[in-house]
């Protein structure tokens, strides 16, 4: 019996020690996860670039490509001097069709192959885009880097990093390979690499949660892959902050907590990847907000108690102020009711005492105001569940999934009875701690709340329980931020 209880005690002790270790090293474990994701992307990128490079070197030595190059060069030259017989044109057309099949079976890793003579003219291309029959040297102002490289007449392989290639109307990179005929250089082939294949490597980030992503950045700080948190293409369009990118290129590999391109605090793992003179930055990152929220979920009871404890021990310093704007016309929200404002309406509710008021808003777009009674699920009642109805409408009709983090929730009450359940419900519905704010005044008898989403204004009028004639008007900045409380508790627990 003693051994049994001893074993149970040791197991419990190990469990508690393990839980505490995880709690104290949440960021450390996140960096481990990000390092793993980053290393996997580097491996995939290395396989991808090596495969393309091997194909390029193979093409430079491919006798069939050399013969095809020479046939089309002579055919192009002949067309300037004389009318080409139909029989010859028909034969060339047939050989080109055969070569297309060879290209598909052997070099389809490249989007296009451009055949260029010594004068810099692209006399033939597989895709027959706008660069066909164009002199790349003369048009280098619009063609860009490919024209610049050809104008230098290289006698060796050159890799051109991804840039906006106008004939294809999309970003492209090139392997430029010299072509020789009996030891004499007769031109070049430019093997065009499409950006979509590179982007595919970084597309999958399911293991990094809702806000995690991996992406590639060039030395100019431009994204080489798509961001799935933007509603437009970001490749070579989204310019990242030098204060974030330059130190990473200098350090070459490591971890940093940064403010990302969306303005969110994020943990990141990075590594510089070099390829034929180009340097790219491989980054794996995840929002700090998501990490803290997941940590809170894991240690829900621990933090729930300490949030309440913190709020009790650190009362807000309420400084009364006079609102700059008076509202003559408002829409009233009654108890057990919620309303939405999206056409400039100003929402108002009053008499919040044993009840709770909840605002859900994206400033300048819309807001909801709910007056939640003690019969609601947030008080463990069973008559209403206004918060669930509000979040369901927001997620279903008001925002795209990538915009959910823009929603701000403000909870107003003279008590804390509904707070833990509201936090849990919002997290369950996919929102983060950083989106939740609490206005709590235990010395107030009740509160009146006004929400003006167009002017990003929330006014809370507290009516003290002892002085019925006195009103304290609170600014929105004078409220608790749940993520800040959790992080303070989390930081203390790590020491």
Spell out the per-residue pLDDT of the chain, length 495, in tens.
434 334 433 333 333 433 344 444 678 889 999 999 999 999 999 999 999 999 999 999 999 999 999 999 999 988 776 777 888 888 999 999 999 999 999 999 999 999 999 999 999 999 999 988 999 999 988 899 999 999 999 999 999 999 999 999 999 999 999 999 989 999 999 999 999 988 999 987 778 888 999 999 999 999 999 998 887 889 999 999 988 899 999 999 999 999 999 888 999 999 999 999 999 999 999 999 999 999 999 888 888 888 888 888 877 766 665 666 677 788 999 999 999 999 999 999 999 999 999 999 999 999 999 999 999 999 999 999 999 999 999 999 999 888 899 999 999 999 999 999 999 999 999 999 999 999 888 888 999 999 999 988 888 888 887 765 566 666 666 688 899 888 888 766 555
Count Cβ atoms below 10 Å from residue 449 Cβ, excluding itself.
23
Strand order in 472-474's β-sheet?
Answer: 331-332, 347-352, 444-452, 457-464, 472-474
Superfamily grouping for domain 62-191: PAS domain (3.30.450.20)
Phi/psi zone of residue 282: left (φ > 0), alpha (ψ -120 to 50 degrees), beta? beta
Equal CATH topology for 62-191 and 299-494: no
Runs of H (alpha helix) within 374-418: 386-393
Q: How far apart are CA 232 and CA 202, in angstroms?
A: 17
The conformation of residue 468, written as its DSSP 8-state character, comes to: T
Dmax of the chain from CA atoms? 106
Distance CA 265, CA 376 (A): 35
Q: Are 65 and 177 in contact (CB under 8 A)?
A: no
Domain coordinates of the chain in residue numbers?
Answer: 28-46+202-289, 62-191, 299-494
Q: What is the CA radius of gyration of the chain?
A: 32
Place of tokens 């499409």: 194
Residue-by-residue DSSP string for 185-237: EEEEEEEEEEHHHHHHHTT--GGGTTT-EEEEEETTSBBSS--TTSSS--TTT
The residue to which tokens 């994701």 are assigned: 37
Non-local CB neighbours of 351 within 8 Å, separated by 6+ positions: 335, 446, 448
Q: Which CATH fold would you assign to the domain 299-494?
A: 60s Ribosomal Protein L30; Chain: A; (3.30.1330)
Among residues 267, 265, 238, the alpha carbon closest in space to that of 254 is found at: 267
Superfamily for the 28-46+202-289 domain: PAS domain (3.30.450.20)
Strand partners, 444: 464
Provide the whole-model pTM: 0.83
Which segments of 301-443 are extended strands (E)? 331-332, 337-341, 347-352, 356-362, 366-372, 408-413, 436-440
Number of alpha helices (DSSP H) and beta strands (DSSP E) in the chain: 13, 20
Q: Which residue matches tokens 């050989």? A: 95
Query: Long-range contact list for 268-274, CB < 8 A, 24+ apart?
Result: 268/34, 269/31, 269/34, 269/35, 269/37, 269/38, 270/38, 271/38, 271/39, 271/42, 272/248, 273/42, 273/45, 273/46
């Amino acid at each position: 019996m003693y051994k049994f209880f001893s074993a149970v005690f040791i197991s419990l002790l190990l469990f508690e020690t393990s839980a505490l270790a995880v709690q104290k090293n949440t960021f450390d474990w996140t960096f481990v996860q990000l390092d793993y994701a980053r290393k996997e992307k580097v491996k995939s990128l290395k396989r991808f670039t090596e495969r393309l490079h091997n194909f390029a070197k193979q093409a430079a030595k491919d006798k069939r490509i050399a013969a095809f190059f020479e046939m089309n060069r002579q055919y192009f030259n002949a067309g300037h001097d004389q009318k080409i017989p139909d029989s010859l044109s028909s034969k060339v057309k047939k050989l080109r069709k055969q070569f297309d099949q060879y290209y598909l079976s052997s070099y389809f890793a490249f989007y296009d192959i451009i055949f260029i003579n010594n004068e810099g003219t692209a006399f033939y291309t597989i895709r027959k885009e706008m660069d066909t029959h164009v002199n790349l040297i003369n048009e280098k102002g619009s063609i860009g880097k490919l024209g610049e490289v050809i104008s230098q007449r290289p006698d060796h392989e050159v890799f051109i990093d991804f840039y906006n290639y106008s004939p294809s109307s999309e970003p492209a990179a090139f392997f430029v390979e010299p072509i020789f005929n009996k030891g004499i250089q007769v031109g070049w082939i430019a093997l065009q690499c499409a950006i979509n294949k590179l982007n595919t490597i970084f597309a999958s980030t399911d293991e990094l949660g809702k806000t995690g992503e991996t992406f590639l950045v060039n030395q100019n700080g431009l994204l080489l892959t798509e961001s799935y948190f933007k509603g437009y293409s970001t490749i070579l369009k989204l310019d990242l902050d030098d204060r974030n990118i330059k130190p990473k290129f200098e350090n070459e590999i490591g971890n940093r907590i940064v403010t990302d391109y969306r303005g969110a605090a994020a943990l990141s793992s990075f590594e510089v990847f070099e390829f034929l003179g180009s340097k790219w930055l491989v980054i794996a990152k995840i929002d700090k907000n998501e990490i803290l929220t997941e940590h809170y979920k894991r240690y829900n009871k621990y933090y729930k108690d300490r949030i309440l404890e913190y709020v009790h021990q650190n009362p807000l310093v309420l400084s009364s102020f006079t609102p700059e704007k008076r509202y003559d016309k408002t829409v009233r929200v009654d108890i057990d009711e919620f309303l939405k404002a999206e056409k400039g309406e100003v929402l108002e509710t009053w008499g919040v005492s044993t009840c709770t008021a909840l605002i859900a808003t994206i400033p300048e777009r819309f807001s909801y105001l709910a007056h939640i009674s003690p019969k609601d699920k947030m008080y463990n009642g069973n008559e209403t569940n206004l918060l669930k109805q509000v979040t369901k409408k927001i997620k279903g009709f008001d925002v795209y999934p990538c915009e959910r983090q823009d929603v701000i929730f403000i909870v107003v009450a003279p008590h804390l009875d509904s707070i833990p359940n509201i936090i849990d419900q919002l997290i369950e519905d996919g929102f983060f701690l950083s989106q939740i704010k609490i206005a709590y005044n235990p010395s107030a008898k009740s509160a009146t709340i006004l929400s003006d989403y167009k002017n990003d204004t929330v006014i809370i009028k507290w009516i003290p329980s002892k002085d019925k004639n006195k009103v304290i008007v609170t600014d929105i900045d004078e409220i608790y931020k749940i993520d800040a409380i959790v992080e303070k508790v989390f930081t203390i627990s790590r020491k």
